[in-house]
């Protein structure tokens, strides 16, 4: 078995019995490595760059579900509206409305998640928890998108337990919003947890963990691959 297949098996076994599914975050990694993950059973891949999705999409099997997990510029939505299964990183009305427009052109409904800056970090994208209700009430009439839940990138830490409180807050936020019964808003997806903290995230109610390094190894941004 390849390393990649081993790593996947190892992670899957840790997720067993939790409600969390694994998204393999393949950004910067060559398609050969994605194929190995595919052969090991992975169908959900996460990418954070529009260009990489455009490059990889045509060369890989069509039953892959591509998740856009990175910051998305409105002028690039048109390139991926027909390719992505879900967009995890919606944090403005402007972006939601552009996704709506391009989804309608592509004749589909795109599930989207609202990105929450749960650690209130200046370096991160996403909205504050107290901005969520207002954003939802402004985008819930848009056709072509279906708000399906929340996503966060928790603060970087060497100790996963440090993030447990943030994951609890995310879960509570989604429960609180669900209770408000806002039309056309669903909160069944919670996208949280990465290589360093996915087990804690799964314990706290994550439905998608996004794991890159623990599957594919460290990323090398210098070579472009």
Ligand X SMILES: *Cc1c(COP(=O)(O)O)cnc(C)c1O
In this complex, which beta carbon is closest to ligand X, that of residue 205 or of residue 212?
212
In this complex, which beta carbon is closest to ligand X, that of residue 38 or of residue 216?
216
Q: Whole-number minimum distance, CB 193 to ligand X, in Å?
A: 8
In this complex, which beta carbon is closest to ligand X, that of residue 69 or of residue 90?
69
Q: Which residues pair with 116 in a beta bridge?
A: 127, 152
Alpha-carbon span 213 to 225, nearest angstrom: 14
Site for ligand X, rule CB under 6 A: 25, 27, 48, 69-70, 153, 194-196, 210-214
In the chain, what is the greatest distance between 2 CA atoms, to the nearest angstrom? 49
Q: Whole-number minimum distance, CB 215 to ligand X, in Å?
A: 8
Q: Whole-number minimum distance, CB 216 to ligand X, in Å?
A: 8
Alpha-carbon span 189 to 21, nearest angstrom: 11
In this complex, which beta carbon is closest to ligand X, that of residue 147 or of residue 211?
211
In this complex, which beta carbon is closest to ligand X, that of residue 116 or of residue 142?
116
74 phi/psi in degrees, rounded to 5: -60, -35
In this complex, which beta carbon is closest to ligand X, that of residue 84 or of residue 211?
211
Residue nearest ligand X, Cβ-based: 212
Q: Whole-number minimum distance, CB 12 to ligand X, in Å?
A: 15
Tokens 């579900």 -> residue: 65
The angle at the Cα of 182, spanning 93 to 138, to the nearest 5 degrees, equals: 20
Q: Whole-number minimum distance, CB 196 to ligand X, in Å?
A: 6
Q: Whole-number minimum distance, CB 220 to ligand X, in Å?
A: 12
């Amino acid at each position: 078995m390849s390393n990649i297949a081993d790593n996947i098996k190892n992670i899957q076994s840790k997720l067993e019995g939790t409600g969390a599914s694994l998204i393999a975050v393949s950004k910067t990694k060559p398609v050969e490595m994605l194929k190995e993950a595919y052969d090991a059973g992975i169908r959900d891949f996460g990418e954070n760059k529009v260009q990489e999705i455009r490059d990889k999409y045509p060369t890989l099997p069509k039953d892959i579900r591509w998740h856009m997990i990175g910051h998305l510029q409105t002028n690039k939505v048109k390139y991926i509206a027909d390719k992505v299964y879900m967009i995890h990183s919606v944090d403005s009305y402007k972006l939601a409305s552009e996704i709506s427009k391009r989804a309608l052109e592509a004749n589909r409904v795109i599930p989207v998640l609202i990105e929450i800056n749960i650690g209130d970090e200046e370096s991160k994208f996403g909205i504050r928890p107290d901005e969520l209700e207002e954003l939802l009430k402004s985008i819930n009439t848009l056709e072509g998108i279906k708000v399906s839940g929340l996503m966060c990138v928790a603060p970087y830490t060497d100790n996963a337990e440090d993030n447990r409180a943030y994951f609890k807050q995310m879960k509570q936020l989604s429960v609180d919003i669900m209770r408000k019964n806002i039309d056309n808003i669903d909160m069944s997806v919670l996208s949280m947890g990465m290589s360093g903290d996915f087990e804690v995230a799964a314990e706290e109610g994550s439905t998608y963990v996004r794991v890159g390094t623990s599957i594919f190894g460290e990323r090398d941004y210098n070579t472009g691959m």
